[in-house]
Amino acid sequence: MNKRGSISLWTGCVIVAFLLVIAVFGPKLAPYDITFQLKAGTEIIDGKSQYVKIPYPPDEKHLLGTDRWGYDMLTRLMYGARYTIFATIAIAFFRLLIGTAVGLTIGLAERKQAWWISLENTWSYVPIFIPIYFMLIGISMNSPLEPFQLTVIFVVLATLLGIPSIVSSVRQKTEQVKQLPFITAAISLGAGREHLILRHVLPQLKEQLLLLFVSEIIVVMALMGQLGIFDLFIGGTIAENDPDIFISASNEWAGLIGQSRTSIQFYAWMFYGPLGAFILAILGFSLIVNGLKRKYETAYNQSPYV
């Protein structure tokens, strides 16, 4: 692997490791409890009586400022990290696990499964955002369910709707690998499907599957961002009327971006804080993908199939 690819891979790993630490220990590392609320009024600051106006801009005590209700933005980000990071990783993992199993089975079949190829071609034109939005809009808005339960529902739906694309990639690569001489020889010698998969096919796919896994994390984050723009937040949306306000129940980052986008003109910190965290997460995984691609291309002198 060349130097540029190595730097990209290691930088991405450092960023993702940092995000995982925040996701695991965020509530303990947060500067305030999630229930802490700064209220408007007169306070003694540096020995002087000052009037505190909400939302409070960034300063030494509130590095990212507060939202319009006085909750510390950095605290909200650190509490919501677990929903953002772990939900995306879980979806990518289950998509890959199920999609790989189905893709290997179809790819190793004696005859091409025309029905499945037709389904792949049809499903490739359907934006996943549309069915997920209409499935969740009636469940997530002012839901009696807990944020964790709503997140699990999102993980299940996003996993199931994203499996066909994984199956397509794995199937196509499996069909290519099946044509290799040593695979043909193993089949001629009577090797069973399990033996072929474990001893011959999976070793040929392991690096591509890792690349596909990280790529799917980025895809899921993009999906969460799209849903956030339309006020559908992972973990639940609290909707209020007069005026219309949408609040993220879980504090996941795409939700914080979505609920703060109307404040960008006057209270920019409320928007750019979550946006910066979300971009950092996408950047970290994108650098890993770029590093893995360069490593793969250098090692095998060919482009990845993803």
**pTM across the whole model:** 0.89
Work out the percent of the chain whose per-residue pLDDT is above 90: 52
Q: 91 lies in a domain?
A: yes
d(CA 281, CA 221): 9
**How many structural domains does the chain have?**
1
**CATH number of the CATH domain containing 223:** 1.10.3720.10
Buried b (16+ CB within 10 A) or exposed e, 3-21: eebeebbebbeebbeebbe
Range of the domain at 120: 3-300
Token pair listed for 44: 């003694």
- Residue 188 vs residues 27, 153, 175, 181, 185: alpha-carbon distances, Å: 57, 45, 17, 10, 5
CB 201 within 8 A of CB 174: yes
pLDDT band per the 50, 70, 90 thresholds, residue 171: confident
Give the tens place of pLDDT for each residue, 86-97: 999 999 999 999
Q: Is residue 45 part of a domain?
A: yes
Reported as a single tens digit per residue, the pLDDT across 260-303 is 988 888 889 999 999 999 999 999 999 999 998 888 777 666 55
Residue 306 lies in a domain: no
